[in-house]
Amino acid sequence: MYLRKAYRTYEGKRYDYWTLVESYRTERGPRQRVVAYLGDLKEEVRLGFHEAAEGSSGVREESLFEEFEEIKPEWVKVDVSRVRVEGDREFGGFWLGKKLLEQLQLPQFLERVLSRGEEDIPWSVMSQVLVLCRLCHPSSELRIAEHLYERTALPDLLGVPVEKVNDDRLYRALDQVLPHKEALEIHLKERLGELFDLEYDLLLYDVTSTYVEGEAKGNAQAQRGYSRDHRPDCKQVCLALVVSRAGIPVGYEVFAGNKSDMTTVEEIVGLMEKRYGKANRIWVMDRGMASEKNVRFLKRGDRRYIVGTPKSQLKTFEQELLSEDWQQIREGVEVKLCPSPTGEAEVFILCRSRARREKEKAIHARFEKRIEEGLGKIASSCQKKRQKVAEIARRVGRLLGPNSRAAGLFEVKVTEGEGGGARLKWTKKEGWRDWATLSEGCYMLRTNILDWTAQELWEAYIQLTEAENAFRIGKQDLRIRPIWHQKEKRVQAHLLVCFLAYVLWKTLAQLCKRAGLGDEPRKVFDEIAQIRLVDVILPTQQGVEIRKRCITQPTEHQAILLDKLQLHLPRQLSMHQM
């Protein structure tokens, strides 16, 4: 340690003061940090500090201040009327996110795997900037560099000055972290398992899409397809996600935007088995994945599965639907086990939900009314003037298409009348109505697990809501969409950063659950994020300003949350600038 003289000009007059500075070694060479601001020291006191800092005269570095215990502190008067607060910055959310990164040992992992070159700022640190900003304030790299970073406590938490953060460095950090995607997934899966004693016996698989702004000519995966975001005007990519029964992410893959869900199953299952093995795995998928080809693939590998089935397969079990031997497993939900009609080593689980029945009943009634009113208008137009048969047929098609949930109820005939004009007639098929009434609220699962009860199978399948919840968090809380990148690798890197931010989110959820705060971290995160970092300026009558960087005092509610999560706010921040 050593003394460094500093200067400050106030009202045209220059004042000098002394700082105690410590020099320390890092992988990138020596660095310095200010240990204390000592003010204007007298010669004898300064000499004592100097000797103590150098370790001369037998003075131990640990007893630096013991030599001056008899020296009385010099008191200064503060001009209270000019006390002010500057540099109000967001602290709580970014500090909490950094704590989560440390629990997952991500900083050490990134420092180990990311290449070190001549860059001023390590890529491991820049990648943390990306992940923490995605968790706390999802936005583009350009907005982080130009507006967001300087308004946060990240310069103090990570030691990266504001002037060192620019969009080019952030983009290059994306390029650096992407090649380590698989290693990151393996590390996180193992670390989360250690932290929370998790089981990965049940793998929940689902697919969503997220759209890309612009033409994305440099991205072969950006294609037009079925848009879950209701943006068919934009190109998109598909995101396939595998999570555990607790919603903990196991891995993900990015597919072309026009790839159907069914065609992703073999690739995803193969990747997960190659990475983690296939022993004691049960694959859970919805009916959008459960083609006969995919079921045969799962059977060939002796894999266990629980999958949804198309609604049309319910017809095979019409008699079972009519019988009364249902088992109620919770309020408004009934199930029934049925053997496979083909005699294979499978069972089918019929499920009936009261809430789902009411919903489907309302949908059928609404669509029936809409179709009937539409047909009435078309028939009326045919009576007012002569219409071509082909044109009326097209109008009927355009009416039935968007209202397909009740289209089967109507039998519509378009004929040519006596004057050559089109005539429209329709009738309702009561047989269709009877079946619709019987099957409302019903769905069916199939599985090759023969030693579980119907309730256990249903509860395992219903865990798919965890995958759906992951997509909801990604799109709402982490704002995975829209994607502004135009190159394929950059889009993939963007999704990797979103994946890492989601892992932090679920880590906080597990910590909340363990602390008895539930497993929904939104309110907890938002509350802690209100904690701020400020600079308190104390002008003295001697003309010198004392500057103190302070963390705002947590409220009673915030303090309770921090205590339950076993987290402790730092007393002060060490400003280690790189």
DSSP string, 50-104: HHHHHT-TT--GGGTTGGGTTSPPPP--B-GGG-EEEEEEE-HHHHHHHHHHHHT
The residue-averaged pLDDT of 2-20 equals 71
pLDDT tens by residue, 144-182 = 999 999 999 999 999 999 999 999 999 999 999 999 999
Same domain assignment for residues 347 and 428: yes
What is the token pair recorded at 216?
């994305």
Give the bridge partners for 550, in sequence order: 534
7 or 527: which carries more pLDDT confidence?
A: 527
Q: What is the pLDDT of residue 491?
A: 96
Contact assessment for residue 514 and residue 65, using Cβ atoms and an 8 Å cutoff: no
Contact assessment for residue 130 and residue 170, using Cβ atoms and an 8 Å cutoff: yes
Distance CA 172, CA 168 (A): 6
Same domain assignment for residues 292 and 373: no
Residue labelled with tokens 């002037």: 163
Q: What is the pLDDT of residue 456?
A: 94
* Final residue in a domain of this structure, among 468, 486, 512: 512
User: In angstroms, how far is the first alpha carbon of the chain from the final one?
Assistant: 18
Q: Is residue 519 part of a domain?
A: no
The residue-averaged pLDDT of 5-15 equals 70
pLDDT tens by residue, 525-559 = 999 999 999 999 988 887 788 888 899 999 999 99
Q: Is residue 576 part of a domain?
A: no
**Residue 61 binned pLDDT confidence (cut-offs 50, 70, 90):** very low
Parallel, antiparallel, or unpaired: how do β-strands 202-212 and 235-243 relate?
antiparallel
* Final residue in a domain of this structure, among 512, 543, 562: 512
Give the bridge partners for 285, in sequence order: 307
Distance CA 33, CA 19 (A): 10
Q: What is the pLDDT of residue 76?
A: 76
- Strand segments (E) across 151-248: 202-212, 235-243
Same domain assignment for residues 345 and 242: no
What is the token pair recorded at 447?
């599985």
> Containing domain of residue 362, as a range?
311-448
> At a CB cut-off of 8 Å and minimum separation 6, what does 498 contact?
134, 474, 478, 480
Same domain assignment for residues 319 and 341: yes
Distance CA 235, CA 214 (A): 8
Same domain assignment for residues 222 and 304: yes
CATH of the domain at 485: 3.30.420
Contact assessment for residue 269 and residue 307, using Cβ atoms and an 8 Å cutoff: no
Cα distances (angstroms) measured from residue 380 to each of 46, 306, 376, 384, 393: 102, 51, 6, 6, 14
Contact assessment for residue 144 and residue 165, using Cβ atoms and an 8 Å cutoff: yes
Give the predicted TM-score (pTM) of the model. Answer: 0.82
Q: How remote is the C-alpha of 172 from its chain's centroid?
A: 22
Same domain assignment for residues 185 and 263: yes
Q: Based on the structure, what is the number of domains in the chain?
A: 3
Q: What is the pLDDT of residue 48?
A: 55
Same domain assignment for residues 320 and 418: yes
Same domain assignment for residues 239 and 344: no
**Residue 489 binned pLDDT confidence (cut-offs 50, 70, 90):** very high
Same domain assignment for residues 327 and 453: no
Distance CA 327, CA 334 (A): 5
